Structure 1
Amino acid sequence: MDLVLSFIALLLLSPLMLVTAAAVAADSGRPVLFVQRRVGRGGREFGMLKFRSMARDAAATGPHYTASNDPRITRVGRFIRRTSLDELPQLLNVFKGDMSLVGPRPDLPAQRADYSEADWIERCSVRPGITGLAQARLRSQATPAQRLALDLQYVRECSLALDFRILLWTLARLRGHGSN
């Protein structure tokens, strides 16, 4: 289902993705995509795609997390983060099989240290998603403990019906409540 839905979404959203790419390039140059190593199912690493929303040297000039008024975020970057347009390239990750539409958000490899071994293994037992229970419920305001609890709840209760509800909740939360 992820393959079919991501293909349809890529076709339908390709004009919006082209406009977003052009806006990023016009605002802060190239590259327009940002690739970051993330951890997927079974602990396998992959390159997660996003439209670049920060200055090109952002990774070298600050922490891996982003604060609300982070000066590294570009003008267009603020808009695409607020509207979650920066996440659209992850449809390619879904199409490739690295991610799912719904699942726990993929962590950075360094974040493994934040989990117990059992929690990490359980969390990595499913494909990570573009959106998940934590994002649908609390968006970027979730504390690490809340995020972990919701991610593990998803792993334990995952079903097609839950995925559909999470997609609907995510769409409802997107109206003006993006991430940092």
Structure 2
Amino acid sequence: MPERGHYERWGKRCLDILGAGLGLLLLSPLLLGTALAVRLALGRPVLFRQERAGQDGLPFTLLKFRSMRDGPGDDAARLTPFGRRLRATALDELPQLVNVLRGEMSLVGPRPLPAAYTARYTARQRQRQRVRPGLAGVAQAAGRNALPWEERLELDARYAARLSLRADLRAMLGTLGILLHGKGVHAPGHATMPRFDSHTNPG
């Protein structure tokens, strides 16, 4: 498909640079306000950094606003009411615009997952890594963290195999709709999302 290849080779990256640059510029007051709120509510550091798997499984450092307090305990114990609101609005994800500008992420793509998960993927699920991870994506648009792991990874693999401008626009609009309705913030029975290794991989 020549059109798809044309978009994948340079069109998508051009849109990423333009979108991330404009986003950082226009949202700078919101970014500064959120950073101040995190500093007052949770202290330092304001940013959470974690190694994630990027395109082709190459590691990079993901940036997020911190939403959990330091200390012992699982996610449910460390996630504060402030942090829950931050996650519900997805404001904690805004620093990833810097990741997009650096070329480590895209505006649209599979969500970046911990590098340790890569070895647990089936061959089909590993296809999600042929594209850059993204801020928005088809799995987020379909239900965010409320989707079971196998369904999320299959949607990601389908997206990576059929990359197009139309798919990206639909994913962006769908993700925005999910966020506006406050859906999919966490998996049923969990504060965030269960670890991938807590599920049986059917592959």
- Point out where structure 1 has 5 or more consecutive residues left out of the alignment: none
Instruction: Please tell me whether residue 5 in structure 1 is matched to residue 30 in structure 2.
Output: no
Task: Kindly report which structure 2 residues correspond to 1:1-180, keeping only aligned pairs within 5 A, or say none.
Answer: 1-57=15-71, 61-62=73-74, 66=75, 70-120=76-126, 122-175=127-180, 176-177=182-183, 179-180=185-186
Aligned length: 171
Look up the equivalent residue of 2:89 and give its one-letter code.
T
C-alpha distance in 2, partners of 1:119/1:139? 17
Give CA deviations for 1:117-146 in whole Å, capped at 9, x if unaligned.
Answer: 4532x2211000011110111111010110
**TM-score, L = length of structure 2:** 0.80
Q: Retained in 1: the 8 A contact 2:128–2:160?
A: yes
Work out the CA distance in 1 between the residues paired with 2:184 and 2:153.
Answer: 20
In structure 2, how many angstroms separate the alpha carbons of the residues matched to 1:109 and 1:56? Answer: 22
CA contact (8 A) 1:23 1:76 kept: no
Q: In structure 2, the residue corresponding to 1:36 is in which secondary structure?
A: strand
Using the aligned pairs only, state the percent identity: 48
Which of structures 1 and 2 has the bigger CA Rg?
2
Following TM superposition, the consecutive aligned residue runs of length 4 or more in structure 1 with deviations greater than 4 angstroms are: none
Displacement of 1:61: 3.7
Q: Could you tell me whether the CA contact under 8 Å between 1:83 and 1:178 is conserved in 2?
A: no
TM-score between both structures, scaled by the size of structure 1: 0.90
Once the 2 structures are TM-superposed, how far is the Cα of residue 28 of structure 1 from its aligned partner? 1.2
Q: Deviations over 1:135-173 (max 9, x none)?
A: 111111010110111001101111011101111111111
CA distance in 2, matches of 1:113, 1:61: 26
